[in-house]
């Protein structure tokens, strides 16, 4: 008879695998069909493989034993529904995602802004908005029904969903509050409620440009960039962010891997690096290194030939700069990881390398966040609006 610990691990592994098979994999297939349906079969296969072989998600779900594949899978399915114009289905799927794991709320501004923008271009915008709002409310009530028996039960769940008492950050996360804590001792200088207000205000300010763009000019690619920008704003500025929260902005970057390979290839290594201390504590350093090197082999520099360079770069000088920057950053990243593994921290600075990893990853996240916000504003409204009007004319 197997010991309880072995049985527990087997149960966790099989439940994560089954969650992948029944939720994330079908959602990924639906997204590739809906968004990349006009591409060649080779490109669709590449997009699907990129989604299913995302190293960060594999390490967290199958090594750290989490079930992010369910909430993220439901969010991917909701994104596929958005691309397909299935607004009612979008509301149900995304509401289920949020109720499975509150981290999915990072995408809420993107979904809200895009659907709101589409509703504004309909003949009866108020009715369209109320219809979607009622469906979201109904889905939430159904999910929360077991906890609505008493006020105490509902408040207990809410206190766990929003644990303000745990502080503005835990461990060493590559976000604004943790990195700047080296200069400003946020936890010591400000009460919890004040920090919560700081986090709320900065997060809203960071999200607003992305939301405004989608309300004014809703588009399919713009929506995916809005998912990325909204979730990045939450990761960088919101209250109580965990290391594994980087999976949330990493997902839309992976969804856009064919359209925006630079974003995906630049973000993934540093997302992995930001979680390295957590993964090392779980004794996943070997798995981490293996998946990291496989990622590098499958994702060489973004520009490999003259034609690609001409299509994506204004000059060879820009291509050379991008490749050199990526190479230098990856070499520096490797040195930091090796130092973390083999060089003991000074007794006076026991978390020196944890802090260095957070700063290094954050320094690479900020340029991506600024670039993707700029990139989103370059996307004009596609035929989403004309499709909505055509449907109404037929009705």
* pLDDT, position 47: 94
Domain boundaries along the sequence of the chain = 18-394
Which residue, 296, 307, 303, is CA-closest to 318?
303
* pLDDT, position 45: 94
CB of 76 closer than 8 Å to CB of 255: yes
CB of 56 closer than 8 Å to CB of 246: yes
Q: Indicate the pLDDT class of residue 358, thresholds 50, 70 and 90.
A: very high
* Rounded percentage of the chain residues whose pLDDT exceeds 90: 61
CB of 334 closer than 8 Å to CB of 292: no
| Positive or negative: CA dihedral 121, 122, 127, 129 | negative
Token digits for 303?
């520009």
Residue 346: count of CB within 10 angstroms of its CB? 8
Token digits for 198?
């700081």
Question: For the chain, what is the mean pLDDT?
Answer: 87
* pLDDT, position 304: 45
Cross-strand bridge partners of residue 266: none
Which residue, 353, 352, 295, is CA-closest to 326?
295
In the Cβ-directed half-sphere of 94, how many Cα atoms lie within 13 Å? 27
Q: Which residues contact 63 (CB under 8 A, 6 or more apart)?
A: 279, 282, 284, 287
Which residue, 123, 135, 112, 125, is CA-closest to 218?
112
Residue 283, Ramachandran bin (φ over 0: left; ψ between -120 and 50: alpha; else beta): left
For the segment 103-114, what is each residue's pLDDT rounded down to a tens digit?
A: 999 999 999 999
Using CB atoms within 10 A of its CB, is residue 300 exposed (0-12), middle (13-18) or buried (19+)?
Answer: exposed
- Given a cut of 80, whether residue 296 has pLDDT beyond it is yes
Token digits for 283?
């004794």
Q: CA 292, CA 297: separation in Å to the nearest integer? A: 9
For the segment 236-285, what is each residue's pLDDT rounded down to a tens digit?
A: 999 988 889 999 999 999 999 999 988 998 899 999 999 999 999 888 99
Q: CA 306, CA 303: separation in Å to the nearest integer? A: 8
In the Cβ-directed half-sphere of 187, how many Cα atoms lie within 13 Å? 15
* pLDDT, position 151: 82
Q: Which residues contact 354 (CB under 8 A, 6 or more apart)?
A: 171, 172, 277, 340
* pLDDT, position 256: 96
* pLDDT, position 303: 45
Q: Which residues contact 85 (CB under 8 A, 6 or more apart)?
A: 384, 387, 388
Token digits for 292?
């990291």
Q: CA 56, CA 33: separation in Å to the nearest integer? A: 23
For the segment 94-135, what is each residue's pLDDT rounded down to a tens digit?
A: 999 999 998 999 999 999 999 999 999 888 999 999 999 999
Q: CA 304, CA 5: separation in Å to the nearest integer? A: 48
Q: Which residues contact 393 (CB under 8 A, 6 or more apart)?
A: none
- Given a cut of 90, whether residue 72 has pLDDT beyond it is yes
Dihedral pair phi/psi, residue 299, rounded to 5°: -130, 75
């Amino acid at each position: 008879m197997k010991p309880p610990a072995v049985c527990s691990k087997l149960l966790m592994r099989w439940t994560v695998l089954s969650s992948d098979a029944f939720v994330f994999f079908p959602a990924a297939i639906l997204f590739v069909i809906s968004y990349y349906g006009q591409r060649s079969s080779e490109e669709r296969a590449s997009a699907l493989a990129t989604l299913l072989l995302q190293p960060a998600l594999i390490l967290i779900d199958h090594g750290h034993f989490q079930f992010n594949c369910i909430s993220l899978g439901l969010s991917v399915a909701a994104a596929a529904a958005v691309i397909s114009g299935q607004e009612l289905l979008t509301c149900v799927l995304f509401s289920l995602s949020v109720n499975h794991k509150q981290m999915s709320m990072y995408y809420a501004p993107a979904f809200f802004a895009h659907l709101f923008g589409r509703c504004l271009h309909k003949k009866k915008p108020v009715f369209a908005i109320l219809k979607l709002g009622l469906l979201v409310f109904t889905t939430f009530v159904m999910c929360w029904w077991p906890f609505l028996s008493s006020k105490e039960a509902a408040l207990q769940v809410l206190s766990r969903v929003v644990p303000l008492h745990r502080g503005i950050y835990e461990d060493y996360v590559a976000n604004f509050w943790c990195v700047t804590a080296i200069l400003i001792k946020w936890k010591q200088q400000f009460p919890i409620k004040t920090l919560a207000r700081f986090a709320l205000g900065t997060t809203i300010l960071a999200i607003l440009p992305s939301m405004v763009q989608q309300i004014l000019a809703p588009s399919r690619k713009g929506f995916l960039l809005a998912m990325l920008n909204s979730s990045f704003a939450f990761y960088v500025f919101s209250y109580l962010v965990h290391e594994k929260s980087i999976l949330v902005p990493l997902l839309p970057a992976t969804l856009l891997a064919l359209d925006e390979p630079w974003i995906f290839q630049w973000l993934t290594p540093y997302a992995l690096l930001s979680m390295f201390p957590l993964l090392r504590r779980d004794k996943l350093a070997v798995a981490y290194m293996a998946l990291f090197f496989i990622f590098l082999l499958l994702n060489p520099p973004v520009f490999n030939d003259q034609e690609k360079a001409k299509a994506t770069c204004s000059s060879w000088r820009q291509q050379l700069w991008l490749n050199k920057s990526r190479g230098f950053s990856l070499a520096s990243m490797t040195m930091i990881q090796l130092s973390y593994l083999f060089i003991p921290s000074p007794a006076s600075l026991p978390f020196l390398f944890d802090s260095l990893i957070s700063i290094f990853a954050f320094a690479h996240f900020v340029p991506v966040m600024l670039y993707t916000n700029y990139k989103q504003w370059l996307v004009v409204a596609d035929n989403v609006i004309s499709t909505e009007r055509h449907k109404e004319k037929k009705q």
